Each structure stands twice: as structure tokens, then as C-alpha cells.
Chains A and B, each alone.
Chain A
Amino acid sequence: MDDPQGRLAENILYFARALRAAGIPLGPRSVLDALAAVMAAGVGTKEDFYWTLHAVFVKRHEHSVLFDQAFKIFFRKRGYLERLMAMMSPEMTGAPAQADQPQASQRVLDALFQGAEKIEREKEEVELDARFTVSDREVLERKDFAQMTAAEIATAKDAIKRMVLGFDNVMTRRLVPRARGRRVDLRRTLRASMKSGGALIDLKYRGPSTKTPPIVALLDISGSMSQYTRLFLHFLHAVTDARKRVHTFLFGTRLTNVSRALREKDPDEALAACSASVLDWSGGTRIATSLAVFNKQWSRRVLSQGAVVLLFTDGLERDPDERLGFEIDRLHRSCRRLVWLNPLLRFSGFEARARGIRVMLPHVDELRPIHNLKSMHQLCQALSEHGRHADPKTWLSRVA
């Protein structure tokens, strides 16, 4: 039997690596800390062991969930912990058993089973939807909402990093100290001149501060959009993470506010919370009704301070009537900028023929494609340059 402490150290090291891969930032220092903590606390009950590691490895509330799942899978091997407790010398491989744990998030599974090819994945695992693939970076998956691979999250996050860079700023009426401001900041001027006993007056200035405007996203989750919904939600989650004022609404046949759910730091948790609060996944679309509800109940609450509205829909309203035009017009008039993101634009021969689309087009500021990471990047850039290239009227004239 080898040195029990060596075994323990090895296992904690593997566990820490798995946690790191699952998205908890851990340095080598934490592994040493964890080992010291386990030695100090002793391996008592399973619960004690859990909380000892938890105390060292988890530094933020949202990591707690990842830790919990990883711990359960990693130390699930029957009797392992018991033996560990008995003699602190278990045999343990870096890749413990089977993936038949549907409730564990795909990210944790990915992290734990990385490099262990012999382990079979579940059948309903990610299938690439090859129909829409135009580049190898574009990954669209089936509508199954619960699970997403670590690779995809990484790509989505990558897209968002660029997004934050190119964002527009609007001036607010709040004044902050500025070296080249327009107004004299008397308070700082006086303070500065007191240094010289009032002999010198060194003028200080103030200017308006800038702020990114709020974003309101209206996301169509009807059947025709279902292949995109999850990716868009990840996108919106990342935006919510990076920006303070983001409101997200989902609509199919009814309107649901999921802003709070998306504020969960962990993407899996956020998406799970979203799906729990929505009742009409992949059903029909009633765009006019949903917009009417939004206009009446929410627009005055969330569209103040120059909000930008991102409307994710294909515009395929089942039976468009005059109400659709009326509601989209009202939405347009109550926000600063209305951007329509339509995945149908992926088809090079797209023409604005459907009646719903024709009704909505005159009332939006921009019409943009959103079907792969490239178009998401373009969207991010476009939001800072006032969308000269996406004038919706060109789509109307092309058909007429």
C-alpha cells in the first residue's frame, strides 16, 4: 500500500483539475490549501469532507452548484469515500464512472471526462445540425434545452468579449471630473487653490459622463425558432453578465420576463431557471399579442433612458392582422433604436414576402441576420456604428 497521503493529494489534485475545467478558477495554491485543510480537519463524515473542500475551492456563490455536481460525480464510486475515511488510501482514477446522470450539467460532465474517450456518451447528446453549418465555428444544436458543451460556452463567451468592446455610449446628464470638460468644477477648483493658500486659481473642469444604454431583448421561442433559441439565450446571458441593465423577455404565445433568471452567474443555472419559468416552449407564435402585452405592461418600465430593443424573431406570424403593424409601430416609437434580428436572413435568396415580415419591416430601424457567431459579431459591431448597412427598406424594395 502506498502512502495514504500521496493518494489523497493525487485525488484532490484531480478533483481540482476537474473543477478548473468546469469553470471554477483554481490555482495550485488552492490544492495545497485543500490538502492542508483536509489534513487539519481530518476526514470525518462525507459531509465534513464535502464542506472542507467546499470552504477552500468555492469562492463565489455561483460556483457552489458546479462544486456540488462535480463532487457528487467524482466521489460517487461506491464505497470510495467510506474507504477513504477508513484509511485514507483509496484507489482512484482520474476519470470515475459513467455518464448516466442526466441532471448533472453537461459542462461538469465534459470537464470530468475530458480525455477519457472510452467512456460512452449518452445517445441524446449533442448532435450538430449540419443543415445550417457554414463554417466550422458555427455550432447550432438541437432544441434540447438542458445541456450544452463546454466548448460551445467558450465560443459564445468569445463572441461576447468582442461585443463588449464595440458598444455604444450615450451621454448622461450626470457630470464627472474631466480634464477637458466644458464646465468649471468649482468644488475641485477651490480645493486645489487652497493648496497655495488661494493665491493661484487652478481651474478644474467637469463634463458629462457616458453610459451604455439599457438593452431590452425580445426573444421569440416558438417552434420555428427553436433551433436558435438556446444559443440566443446563452448570448443574452453573457450580455446580461457583462452589462448592468439588460431585460430579457421570451415570447411564443405568451410573454415571460426572464431577466432575473438570466442574472444567475452560471449559464447552466440561468438557462435552467429560464426554462422553469416558461410554459410555451416551441409552440406557436402570436407576435402581435405578445408585443401588445409588452407595450402595455413593460415598455414604460424598461424602455426609459434610451433603451435599445433587440427583437429576435423570424416574423412568421400565423395570421398577421392590422394589430401587428400597430404594436410594432408603438414599440418603435417608445424606444431609441429597434433592431430586428432575423435568422431567416441566413438564406442568400431571402425575400421579404411573408405578410408578417412586410408589416413589421417599415417600423424597425435595422434588420440584421443572426444565425451564426459571425453574425453575432457583426451585430456587436453594428450596435456602435448606428447600422447604416442594414436599412430595412432595402428588403422591401427588393421584392417590390
Chain B
Amino acid sequence: MTKNATKLAPSSIDATLKLLADANYLADRSLATVLFLALKMGRPIFLEGEAGVGKTEIAKVLSSTLGRRLIRLQCYEGLDVGSAVYEWNYAAQMIAIRAAEAEGEHDSARIQNDVFSERFLIKRPLLQALEPDPSGAPILLIDELDRSDEAFEAFLLEVLADFQVTIPELGTIKAEHPPIVVITSNRTREIHDALKRRCLYHWVGYPTASRELEIVRAKVPGVGKKLSEQVVGFVQALRKLDLFKSPGVAETLDWATALSELDAIALDPAQVSDTLGVLLKYQDDIARLEGGKVKELLDQMQTELRAAE
């Protein structure tokens, strides 16, 4: 058996939590519950949440811990069947037709049969996900579904309901073992109810301070105890500020990494101001923290941390 041996799906919510924790993904119990149910019931899981809270990461973690293949479909406007499901290799088909003619083959029905065979089929992510895999049904990650247009969403309904795809020239291809489907959305538009209805829905929110601290320590090992506490405390305080875009977990990790690269041991106002661009990505939000606001927040956080000790 290889290192990535296929593991069976977890048998309980606790086992799911542990499975995720083994891959350094520290999830809330609510998320673990939904994941467990999705795996158990064979339903797609629909994750919505702000950017940078670890939605895509879940699919990656599932893939690595369960030892399944990860197939990723990044959505964009204008995504069509040709780039999501399958396409014929037209150049090769044309050559094959010419070659057949050169050999004196004139039976057009036969040429057609040869040309539209699996040899000339280019499989795109959705079709790949339906194929049998020696390591078990793959994980299909449909990332940022809100970026695709409604027409594609409607097409997805069929795939998700029956896990099958019909190719007119070949027939219907049905998955023997349905893939584990993870759909993510940043909610830049509302996904239709019909699609949501087929999935288990979970809103991925910002973690609590203690959870975030665990995440920082697991993901950025180089960061000291004091600095990590301060980083998390500051980010948590920022999220209460009613900013246009609050920093996500990804930003916290970036910031912790950045500060440890700068050899910081504790936060000081000047350094925070210099590195704010790692946390906040809107000028209005950064402007709000100018003029002593950073110092104020830091002091407030210090007293809170001291009180907690």
C-alpha cells in the first residue's frame, strides 16, 4: 500500500474532526457535522463564506486525508460544457478523416464511428470525476461557483442529481461510485435554490479567538507564543470594527508569517501600520486605522489579554 492509501470515510462526527485535525485543519463541530453527513449520505456539500476562511482548503484536506484524487473545476464567466465536461479533439479527428480517405475508405458511417470514439475524447474535470479511480471515488471541487453564469449552474443540476453525463455521439456515462463533491461560493451572486436544495449547506464563518490561535500555531510554527496571541487578538479586534472587508483566516496566517519573517517578537504600532496591507485590502479600511487608531486597538487588546491570563 502506498502512503496515500485510501481511507474509509469517517464513522462519526468525532472521527471527522480528528481526520481534519490530522491534516492541520481545525474545524468547528458544525462544519465537521455537515462534512460527516455529506460523506455518509453521498450528497454534495455547498460551502459559502467570505473570502479567505478556508473553504477551498476543505476539499484539499479531504483529498489528502482520504487519499483520494482531487479534481478541481475553477468556475469563470462563460464556462461551458466544452471546458467543464468534454471536448472532441478536432485536429486529431480531421487528420484521422484525411488518413482514412487516403487509404481509400469511403464509408462515411464507418469514418464517423471511428472518429467519435473515446480515443478522440478530451475529458474535462466533470467527466474525469465520473470515471472509476483505483484509489476510490475522487473529490470534485467546484470552486467559486458564483463566478460562472446561471446557464452553467443549470447544467450542473443534472450532473449533481444523477452523477451522469450524456455525450450524444457516445452515450451516457454514469459514475459507478459518485465523487465527493465540494462546491464553494463567495456569494458574489445568489446561487439558485434548485442547486442548493441538492446539497448540504454550510456557512463558513470566522473562527473564534481560541480556534484561530490554534490555527496560527498549527500553520505557522515559527511564530512565538506571545506574538501569535497578539496577532490573533488584533485581528479579532479588527473584525469587530465594522470594516468593509474584515480580514479572513488566510490574512491572519499571512500576517503572522510576515511578522515572523520580520523577526518581530511582539506587536508595536509602527510595525502594525507598515504591514497593514497584509490584513486589509481596501484603502477606506486602512484609512480608518490611521492617526493613533492602531495604538488604541493595541492597548485595548493588551488589557484584554492581560485580563484573560
Contacts and interface: CB of A to CB of B under 8 A. Distances in A.
Interface of A: 172-175, 186-187, 189-190, 194-199, 211, 244, 295-296, 300-302, 304-305, 326, 330
Given A190-B90, A197-B106, A172 B78 contact: yes
A198 B189 contact: no
B201 interface: no
B108 A197 contact: yes
Nearest to A304: B188
Nearest to B106: A197
Contacts of A197: 101, 106, 108, 111
Contacts of A189: 90
B88 A187 contact: yes
B111 A198 contact: yes
A190 B93 CA distance: 8
Contact of A174 (B78, B94, B112): B78
Contacts of B80: 174-175
Interface residues of B, number: 31
Per CB-CB distance, the 6 closest pairs between chain A and chain B, nearest first, are A173-B78, A197-B108, A198-B97, A186-B90, A304-B188, A174-B78
A3 B184 CA distance: 68
A173 B77 contact: yes
Given A174-B78, A196-B108, A302-B190, 20 more contacts: A173-B78, A174-B80, A174-B149, A175-B80, A187-B88, A187-B90, A190-B88, A194-B112, A194-B115, A195-B108, A197-B106, A198-B97, A211-B149, A296-B242, A296-B244, A301-B187, A301-B188, A301-B189, A304-B146, A305-B149
B66 to A, nearest CB: 33
A295 B244 contact: yes
Nearest to A189: B90
A199 B189 CA distance: 48
Interface string B135-154: 00000000000100111000
A199 B101 CA distance: 9
Of A187, A194, A197, A302, chain B has the most CB atoms within 10 Å of the CB of A197
Given A174-B78, A175-B78, A175-B80, A300 B187 contact: yes
A324 to B, nearest CB: 15
Contacts of B115: 190, 194
Contacts of A187: 82, 87-88, 90
30 contacts: A172-B77, A172-B149, A173-B77, A174-B78, A174-B80, A175-B78, A175-B80, A186-B88, A186-B90, A187-B82, A187-B88, A190-B93, A194-B108, A194-B111, A194-B112, A196-B108, A197-B106, A197-B108, A198-B94, A198-B98, A198-B100, A211-B149, A296-B242, A296-B244, A300-B188, A301-B189, A302-B189, A304-B188, A305-B149, A330-B284
